[in-house]
Amino acid sequence: MLERKGFTLIEMLVVIAIIGVLAAAVLAALGPARNKAKDVRIISDINQVRIIAETVYLNGTYSALPEGTVNATNYGGIASLKSQADDVISQNGRLVINKTTADTPVGQQYRAYSVLNGGGYYCVNSSGDAYTTTGAVSAPIGAVPSCQ
């Protein structure tokens, strides 16, 4: 009697199909985790922006900080701010800085925020607030730049 060793073509195709289905399921499950990791990096970058802002604070103003969306051409000449903005952009975010005028009773104030991949925004401001908001960040800022 002849004994055959090995697998048939059908058996091999079934195994490959099962592995493909399992791989697809694992990759689909990793999507939200990937977005969460990107959001954590954005939050870290925005917190670093706060440190940079306090470093450039001079005579009651944040005049060295750029206004609006920070990118490769609008970073106020602050190399560390450009690198934080580049990282936020690489994580599908957008770094935005808004400032009040310097003639408020407490001096000039700022807020910095970015959209998150999981929805909502993460914001820090010169008052020391740092939080995630689900609503859009309002465009006009009053005497105290908040993220609401």
For the segment 60-85, what is each residue's pLDDT rounded down to a tens digit? 788 899 998 999 899 989 999 999 99
DSSP label of 61: B
Task: Assess contact for 88 and 94: CB atoms under 8 A.
Answer: yes
Predicted confidence band at 2 (pLDDT cuts at 50, 70, 90)?
A: low
Upper half-sphere CA count for residue 10 (Cβ side, 13 Å):
0
Using one digit for the tens of pLDDT, what is the confidence trace for 98-124? 888 766 667 788 899 999 998 889 999
Task: Assess contact for 19 and 102: CB atoms under 8 A.
Answer: no
Helix (H, G, I), strand (E, B) or coil at 44: helix
Task: Assess contact for 68 and 97: CB atoms under 8 A.
Answer: yes
pLDDT of amino acid 14: 94
pLDDT of amino acid 5: 78
pLDDT of amino acid 138: 65
pLDDT of amino acid 143: 46
Upper half-sphere CA count for residue 96 (Cβ side, 13 Å):
19
